[in-house]
Amino acid sequence: MISITNLILVFLFGSLISYLLTKANKVLGSIFNFLLTAYALYFLWNIEVGRSEKLFNIFSNVQGSLTVTNLGKFFSLVSFLVLAFVAFFVIDWIRFKPRSYAAFNAFYLLMAGGSLGVFFANDLITLYVFWEIAVLASFLIIPMGDESSKKAAVTYAVMSALGSYMYLFAAFSILNRYGVISFKEVSINLLNEASIGYKWFVILFIAAAGIVKSGIFPLHTWLRKAYGGSPDAFTAAFSGQLSKLGSYVLAISLAVFPTVKMFSPLYQGVPTLNYILIWLGNISIILGTFMAIRQNDMKQLIAYSSVANGGYILVGLATLDSIGFAGGLFHVFNHAIISVMVFLSFAVVILRTGTSKIDEMGGLIWRMPMTFVTYLVGIISLAGIPPTSGFISKWMIFNTLVRHGMFVTAAIAFIGSVGSFLYVFRPLAGVFLGQLKKKHYDLKEASIIMLIPMLLMVALTVLLGVYPKPILDLIVSVETELGIKPLEHAGTIIKTPLGSWNTITVFIMFAVGFIIAFILYLLFPKAKKVELTNQYTGGEFLYNYDLYHYATGFYRFIERLYDKHPSFEKLYEMIGVFFKSIGDFVTGLIYKPSPSGYIFWISIVILILYWVRW
């Protein structure tokens, strides 16, 4: 078996090969991408924990290296599962793109290689180097989307840089203070650190990179633009894989650097710093949920949903409780799979219809039934409904919150789950149900190549909802490694102090209910489809199918309650305009269109130099 370093190099140099192959033939290059990511997934499943490889010397006594940990293995498996399925989808999707997507495939592998380095980095500097490779590759893919994608890429770059520089500042501060950068040595030094303020600084600045990448409030504003503007198939990897880099850094800052041991508890064993992060997660759940409800763009709607689900992950991880932390990790997996299902469904719809606006579609279930099934199962899992795996992670997080007496956070988590029913129903009703527009009469279902990864994700989320043992075993190994009490489970039974959850029993109950409902459907009269001219309402006949569409203002009765809410997105835009104005002023002051202006400033500089010398 090849080394981790060599596999990363294969991805980095493979990006050039992918570029050349895609230049020659789009499909050939995409097949190469899939084969490489699929092999990496196989490699990661079989890799032994504990392997360590040296990379480079930063200073004479400080070395960058890669080490396989259970935490890194878990996140890498989730990531490359997403990358492999999306790469398979792209094999056919890329054929319909008029512009050359050779760079798309090249940067896709570059991003994958960078992500692999992040998950197995053994120190702060190595993680940062590979982090920037992954961020740079994703930044270069975003402008390949729609007309707004270039501005979205700039917003993404600025927000990512903010988190990256805060992380790097903390890393160099640690190196200067302790002379070490490996996670193990940094953890030991932080435990022995006398300054509480310095501990706060280190954890918050390192967590900042994770907060940005996960789309956690208040650094969430890039998600809507980046997800909405990036290439449709890539958005699935953006949400399902790249955002998990942020969750990984949060796990490091909270658990690898054991905040429970570093800080005194504030409430029910949860330290003050963790509690603050939990409240950032709470705000993210509320904000993401209510902003998703009002979106008419499918991709932007699920972008805000990702903000809310990032909040669930942060809440679970920050509890550092056996069940809560496990729930946070399980939700990392669930949200990754759900994102692939939902965004690939949208990619097919946008490919066929040419729009992502909900109120411009309707009735697509009659033309795209498999795409509808994929979206339906995806939103069922997203809303946390059994027997899908999405329910298990939310149940574990909610169980922990109730058990710790964190009832406000539990109420917010419950509101977020109820709200998710509302916002996922909007595309369901507006895109797939209702009347089919005449311009969409000739639409076709996705090709078999596109449907294979979508339907495999459907099967996976249902299968792991019934038999979650493979994921739970991985999570138990992570908790054991981090010194957290392992989750108790018996494959299909998850045990908690508040009771147990038997996935098989729940599945049987739902299966029986489904069978009964199906029998009733067969016995009772069916709905009758009638011609449009027979529709009579409001004192007159309706002759236009478009008059039936109700997606516009779908939840207007809710939206009007917070129409004038304060917006961090607008605040950041105002700050951006302010600094741009300063830049324009300075530019206009220094750079003059006439030679005399340059002579004037050269004279000023010479006078300053003489003054300093004297």
Whether 583 and 519 share a structural domain: no
Region 153-157: what's the mean pLDDT?
84
Q: Would you state the pLDDT for residue 416?
A: 87
| Contact status, residue 279 vs residue 230, Cβ threshold 8 Å | no
526 and 595 together in one domain: no
How much is the pLDDT for 614? 55
Whether the CB-CB separation of 396 and 334 falls below 8 Å is answered with no
By mean pLDDT, which of 159-163, 484-488, 573-577, 592-596 is the weakest?
592-596
Report pLDDT digits (tens) over 215-253.
Answer: 888 888 888 888 888 888 889 988 888 888 999 999 999
Tell me which residue of 289, 292, 301 sits closest to 343, measured CA to CA: 301
The alpha carbon torsion through 98, 103, 107, 110 (nearest 10 deg) reads 140
Whether the upstream peptide bond of residue 453 has omega within 30° of 0, thus cis, is no
In the prediction, which pLDDT does 551 show?
63
The whole-angstrom separation of Cα 459 and Cα 488 is 25
Q: Quick one: 503 and 587 in the same domain?
A: no
Q: Are residues 530 and 578 in the same domain?
A: no
**35 occurs within a structural domain:** no
- CB atoms under 10 Å from CB of 587, counted, come to 9
Phi/psi of residue 540, each to 5°? -155, 160
Radius of gyration of the chain from its Cα atoms, rounded to whole angstroms: 26
Same domain? 596 vs 526:
no
CB 373, CB 458: distance < 8 Å = yes
In a domain, 289, yes or no: yes
Kindly state the average pLDDT of the residues 470-474. 91
- pLDDT of 590 reads 63
* 563 has pLDDT over 70: no
Last residue of a domain, one of 536, 557, 587: 536
Which of 482, 516, 536 is the C-terminal boundary of a domain? 536
Dist. CA 332–CA 422, nearest whole Å: 22
Binned at pLDDT 50, 70 and 90, residue 38 comes out as: very high
Residue 15 lies in a domain: no
Contacts of 42-49 with C-beta under 8 Å, sequence gap 24+, read: 43/1, 43/2, 43/7, 44/73, 44/76, 44/77, 44/80, 45/77, 46/1, 47/1, 47/4, 47/73, 49/73, 49/477, 49/481
- The per-residue pLDDT for 595 is 65
Residue 134 lies in a domain: no
Please name the residues in contact with 109: beta carbons below 8 A apart, sequence gap of 6 or more.
11, 12, 14, 15, 18, 33, 36, 37
Q: Which of 515, 536, 557 is the last residue of a domain?
A: 536
pLDDT, mean of residues 424-429: 86
* 59 strand-pairing partners: 62
Residue 259 in domain: no
* Residue 135 in this model has a pLDDT that exceeds 80: yes
Token reading at 94: 């890329």
Give the span between the Cα atoms of 398 and 395, in whole angstroms: 5
pLDDT at 591: 63
Residues 290 and 416 in one domain: yes
Query: Cβ distance 326 to 293 under 8 Å?
Result: no
Structure tokens given for 338: 């759900």
Quick one: pLDDT at residue 404? 85
Same domain, 324 and 432: yes
463 and 519 in a single domain? The answer is yes
Is position 74 within any domain?
no
Half-sphere exposure of 137 (CA within 13 A, CB side): 26
The pLDDT > 70 percentage for the chain reads 87
Statement to judge: residues 578 and 442 lie in one domain: no
Domain holding 574, by residue range, is 568-613
Q: Is residue 375 assigned to a domain?
A: yes
DSSP state of 297: B
Question: Does the structure show a pLDDT above 60 at 467?
Answer: yes
Peptide bond into 218 cis (omega under 30): yes
Residues 484 and 595 in one domain: no
Instruction: Judge whether 241 and 119 are in contact, CB under 8 Å.
Output: no
In this structure, the number of other CB atoms found within 10 A of the CB of residue 141 comes to: 26
Same domain for 583 and 468, yes or no, is: no
- Count: domains in the chain: 2
Summarize pLDDT for 85-126 with one digit per residue, the tens. 999 999 999 888 766 688 889 999 999 999 999 999 998 989
Domain match, 506 and 600 both: no
